[in-house]
Structure 1
Amino acid sequence: VLPLHANLPPEEQQTCFLTQLPAGCTRKIICSTNVAETSVTVPDVTVVIDSCRERRNQVDRYSNTPMLREQWCALDSLKQRRGRAGRVQPGVCFRILPEKYLERLDKISPPEMQRVPLENIYLQVCASGILDRPAFLAKTPDPPEEAAVLFAEVALSDLGALDGQTHDGLTPLGRHLASLPCHPRLGKILVLSCLLGVPGPGLSICAAMSVRNPMLTTQDTNKRAAWQAA
């Protein structure tokens, strides 16, 4: 039984693609997230068992920050998953969902820009030196709603990240937030906690706000050993 997900080290991911089984093994079972949904071909897969579930990046209503949440897949994702079997030889797909419920699912997965807060994207547009940010975002392949862009601008102003008098429209705090790989609300906590000399508690708060379920495990033996030694 082999796991396959984005947090696995590359060398462990590659074991899923080996067609020769270890001695004494007669069957290979891969438990995968939707990392294998597209652009991945495991040549000896002949059966796909689809839970029809996925973790999708959405807004958490309590913290108003992006968070991975489990929900039903859209039909286009189910089609991609079915295609993992039968790529190079005949295969079959079983879905753990009554067929009558399929018509209730969304036909396509909504673009991420239309379902997550735009504060991070807005900061990146500002940092790129683009002056008319709403017009630029409106020209993207899957443009967000005008109300979402306005909300992002107001939220960033409340955080003290925007300054209409500068060349990029950002304050010094805004430039720091644009360089951090997290939501600006969490980024401000990190910046202020460092300025106040308490980076540890600030980091713990941000980590707790970034995950819905703290009961996580890892297959990375190096990380596990580091946690046990801490």
Structure 2
Amino acid sequence: MIRVLVVEDQKIMQKYFEYILLQDTEFRHVQTVADADTAVKICQNSAIDLVLMDVQTYHNHDGLKAGKAIKETCPYTKILIVTSLVDPKVLERAKSGCADSLWYKDHGEEEIRDVIRRTVSGEHVFPDAAPNVELNWITSSEISPRQLEMLRMYICGYSYSEIARKMNCSMAGVRWNFQEMIAKAGYSCKEDLIAAALESKLIVTTLK
């Protein structure tokens, strides 16, 4: 019997994950909680085989940070991140030791159930890349990782000069990259590009 803890703050997704687990007698749904920080405490005090965890949980607590804490104190507990956040940094962090597997919520029930089984059996299941999202005239794959990092830093409050220093380039280079992103995507200004990146969850900066 595989003991599963669900960590998800949206009621409809809580019910969906619980339904998936109830369809298979191999799984035992132990509990559902909305907060990743609560999940860490439960795993430290209970025998949990698998944590099915969102990234952005109650109070914007970070499911990846919680996953890393669980893996450090409960090495036999598997962490499967299931998220709608397409931010490539989320996938990168998950692969770096915060999770055993990651999958996206828009995939079907059977596919998610298969990833659960494979993760419990010891596999590490990750997509090759984060999904693309549309940004007006282009998709996110047409923005380079370097440009995306510049955009992320600017959204986080860094100035052009600070971005240039951290990325070892000139301020003119930073300015050129922003102008290229704006023109390529067909936006009229930087603010429209930023709004689209945040709305599409291509860049997530609210996790605590």
TM-score (norm 2): 0.35
Q: Name the structure where helix makes up a greater proportion of residues.
A: 2
Structure number with greater Rg is 1
